[in-house]
């Protein structure tokens, strides 16, 4: 699950690229768009599903080879299958998916409302994207405290997989400072991968595609390929 109560920190961009990255690596992936804003749903509308690919369990629309999307309940479109589901229904759907997919990726809204909590209950592990800027540490400690509460309320769920620095610009002194802070405070709770700031990611979203399709050699695509690798195989021993 991708969660951070702060808005605009790259949750959706990360959810999309992780889901597509895992699918490209041969895994079967379901992406749940639990945000009524429906950004993930809109950002994937230009993808090109294989001809005649059927929906999965009648609710998840095919997006690419091995990748299905549960569209946001907030998007007014034919696609908005999620509208048919309530929070309890999501739990059932995720149980029915076990055996059909290898990974379920959940994109959460920027607050812990009913859908945010539903996301927590569906997720074994949580990745928390955080922007490398001055105020991020404060928001981050609030988010980590919420996660601890969630993990206590739903045993076996919502384990912190790692904090992911996003929109990193290595030319900015503040970014380097914040990264050092994160490393000192989080230790192995900080993922090794980080996502550089790259306008190609914004461009890809505006074309309704992931960067792996729209601009596969962009910095953004390469960063997300590295993140996919880390989440599949763990930390590298170098660095």
62 vs 116, which CB is nearer to ligand ATP?
A: 116
By three-state DSSP, how is residue 69 classified?
strand
Nearer to ligand ATP, 35 or 64 (CB): 35
Cβ at position 7, least distance to ligand ATP in Å: 4
> CA 86 to CA 64: how far, in whole Å?
26
Stretch that binds Mg ion, among 3-11, 112-120, 132-140, 176-184 (CB under 5 A): 3-11
The strand pairing partners of 159, in sequence order, are 125
Q: How far apart are CA 22 and CA 144, in angstroms?
A: 25
Closest approach of Cβ 187 to Mg ion, in Å? 28
What are the structure tokens assigned to 9, written together? 């920190």
Binds Mg ion (CB under 5 A): choice among 4, 14, 39, 72: 39
The CA–CA distances, whole Å, from 126 to 64, 217, 221 equal 24, 27, 21
Among ligand ATP, Mg ion, none, residue 220 binds (CB under 5-8 Å by kind)? ligand ATP
Q: Please give the Cα distance from 136 to 182 (Å, whole number).
A: 10
Out of 162, 220, 221, 225, the only residue in the binding site for ligand ATP (CB under 6 A) is 220
Subset of 18-77 contacting ligand ATP (CB under 6 A): 35, 37, 39
Q: Which stretch binds ligand ATP (CB under 6 A): 22-30, 138-146, 194-202, 226-234?
A: 194-202
How many other C-beta atoms lie within 10 A of the C-beta of residue 181? 15
């Amino acid at each position: 699950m991708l969660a951070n109560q702060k808005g605009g920190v790259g949750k959706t961009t990360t959810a999309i690229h992780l889901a597509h990255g895992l699918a490209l690596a041969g895994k079967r992936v379901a992406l749940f768009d639990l945000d009524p804003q429906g950004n993930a749903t809109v950002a994937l509308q230009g993808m090109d599903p294989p001809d005649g690919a059927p929906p999965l369990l009648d609710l998840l629309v095919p997006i690419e080879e091995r990748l299905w999307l549960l569209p946001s309940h907030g998007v007014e479109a034919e696609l908005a299958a999620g509208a048919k589901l309530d929070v309890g229904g999501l739990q059932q759907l995720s149980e029915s998916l076990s055996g059909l997919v290898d990974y379920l990726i959940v994109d959460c809204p920027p607050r812990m409302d009913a859908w945010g909590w539903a996301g927590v209950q569906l997720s074994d592990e949580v990745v928390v994207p955080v922007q490398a800027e001055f105020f991020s540490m404060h928001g981050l400690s609030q988010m980590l405290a919420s996660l601890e509460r969630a993990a206590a309320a739903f045993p076996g769920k919502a384990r912190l997989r790692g904090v992911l620095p996003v929109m990193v610009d290595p030319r900015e002194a503040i970014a380097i400072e914040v990264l050092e802070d994160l490393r000192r405070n989080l230790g192995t709770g900080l993922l090794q991968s980080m996502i550089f700031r790259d306008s190609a990611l914004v461009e890809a979203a505006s074309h309704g595609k992931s960067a792996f399709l729209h601009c596969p050699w962009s910095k953004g695509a390469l960063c997300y390929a590295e993140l996919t690798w880390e989440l599949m195989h763990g930390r590298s021993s170098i660095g």
